Amino acid sequence: MHRRRSKGMVAAVVATSVVLVSLGAVTPATAASQKTLPEQLTAKVTTDGVYRHLRAFQRIADTNGGNRAAGTSGYQKSVDYVVNALTRAGFNVSTPEFSYSSTTVKTAQATFDGTVYPVGVLTGSGNSAPGGTQAKLSIAAANGCAAQDYPASVQNSIVLIQRGACNFSQKRDLATAAGAVGAVIYNNVPGSFSGTLGSAQVSGIPVAAISQAEGEAASAKPGSQVSLDIQIEEKQVVTQNVIAETRTGRVDNVVMAGAHLDGVPAGPGMNDNGSGSAALLETALQLGGSPKTENAVRFAWWGAEELGLLGSFDYVGNLTFEQQLDIALYMNFDMIGSPNAGYFVNGDNPDPNAQEPLGSKSIAKVFADYMQSAKGVVPEKGPLGGGTDHVPFARAGIASAGLFTGVNNLMSEEQAKKWGGQANQPYDPNYHQRGDNLNNINRTAIGVNSSTMAWGVGTFAMDTAEVNGIPPREQRANAQRSLMRSPGGAEAFPVNDPSRGRTPVS
């Protein structure tokens, strides 16, 4: 039976509801809304959500030649996947194009005393003469890192140089200055190796890489006739970055977060850098295209990072100085799921004379404090370094920091005790290898770093005062109200004062 309520009963119910609200009765929806944006975002960004994107990247690689390297269908499919997801989430999405020089090695071999060895080619090597460059073999002293390491016999020779102590381009330049017509660099540890001369363009003398055993055997025969045959085909490739920006927040104080989307040709590139790309995508999707934020948030997935940070350099290089000033800070996420994970926060250089951009330490502190307090992980803070996409931002003076779990160098015993890893083993034994697949991802590390990323994005989306001195709107409003309530406050800036905002001239 349906009973009718009297007016008095209805009034009593309403009054009771008002009392409950005034006493702070909290529904689940109300409780969620009372959380800060960083708290909301870290709750929404889950390891399962990140793994869904990692599975997508793995399947894209599996169905596109086994990799997602720049200039391949695997990279383009990765771009399409990210763009479609961001568009559905309501972001302003763009895919600015840039071009670069791509190389394909057609021939790579060296002949020592009639024995032909296949060799590695260092990226940026020049071509040999058609059919190979023939010359006598000379030997550089020490590691070939100083002019005196190249004797007169290097003139018109192919010089053999041991790896180590300085970068490959320095060895190449010194060999060229000494008159060498080619260079062969051999490993200083067992096995073969690969590397770059610092540019993707084919230029200079041909430079090859051989194993330690092959190099030591060749070094016993100075003056013997050798041939170095390196033939590289070069072409221009057009590719894309992906840029997505919220439709809300200040556009003159933009918070940027980025990760490189491309991998290397050797494998699927799940840790390097599907891990950073997947976590960044999940963070963006959970934030949404029109969040209630103080500052606009701009997410970036960079192309051709593995070829020399090409996408991020092109992006920053095409911004005017005023557009660069609109960027409050940049956060970078490159390799955050290494199987034997270290926990590193880049952007806090202990050297007081370091030239890292002002505000970088403040970003690093937000990351490190959250990781320790919320996740119980004590990270190691260090300098930015020069190997990933924060470089062009830092060079432009933009405060920068990032998260990182390590490449193929070894974890120390102290770190293993602190983080629960394996001492004297690489952080990522599959770095730049075929084995960098979904099984190469450390789920715990992804969880820790994804949450830390979400916390950082949510924090700075609301407040960058610690980085660049710009407080959030509410804080500015409170300060203004306080000023207006103070004695003489209303008169301090009279509305019709023609000198308002100007510095008095004495």
DSSP string, 132-147: -EEEEEEE-STTS-SG
Contact between 400 and 468 under an 8 Å Cβ cutoff? The reply is no
- Among the listed residues 62, 67, 63, 101, the one whose alpha carbon sits nearest the alpha carbon of residue 264: 67
- Concatenate the DSSP letters of all residues of 337-363 into one string: --TT---EEES--S-TT--PPTTHHHH
E strand spans, 51-166: 92-94, 97-112, 115-118, 120-121, 133-139, 158-162
Alpha-carbon span 263 to 54, nearest angstrom: 13
Q: Between vectors from CA 42 to CA 41 and to CA 44, what angle results, nearest 5°? A: 65
The answer to whether the beta carbons of residues 171 and 149 sit under 8 Å apart is: no
Q: Collapse the DSSP code of 319 into the 3-class scheme (helix H, G, I; strand E, B; otherwise coil) and give the result.
A: coil
Query: How far is Cα 322 from Cα 172, in angstroms, rounded to an integer?
Result: 39
Query: Token pair for residue 284?
Result: 């963006």
Dihedral of the CA atoms 347, 352, 356, 359 (nearest 10)? 70
Joined together, the tokens standing for residue 229 give 């045959």
Rounded-to-integer distance, Cα 52 and Cα 58, Å: 10
Q: How far apart are CA 93 and CA 300, in angstroms?
A: 10
Mark whether 294 is an active-site residue: no
Question: Which is nearest to 170 in space by CA: 192, 147, 202?
Answer: 147
> Distance (Å, rounded) from C-alpha 356 to C-alpha 74?
35
Between the CA of residue 367 and those of 285, 346, 358, what are the distances in Å? 20, 10, 16
Q: Which letter does DSSP use for residue 397 in this model? A: T
Catalytic residue among 245, 282, 294, 305, which?
305
The 400-404 sheet, strands edge to edge: 92-94, 242-245, 295-302, 250-260, 327-333, 400-404, 344-346, 380-382
Given a contact cutoff of 8 angstroms between Cβ atoms, the answer to whether 49 and 286 are in contact is yes
Closest to 182 measured CA to CA, from 217, 146, 144, 132? 132
Q: Output Rg (C-alpha) for the chain, integer angstroms.
A: 29
Return d(Cα 44, Cα 41) in angstroms, integer: 5
Structure tokens belonging to residue 331: 């956060």
Residue 157: CA count within 13 A, CB half-sphere:
21
Active centre residues (catalytic): 305
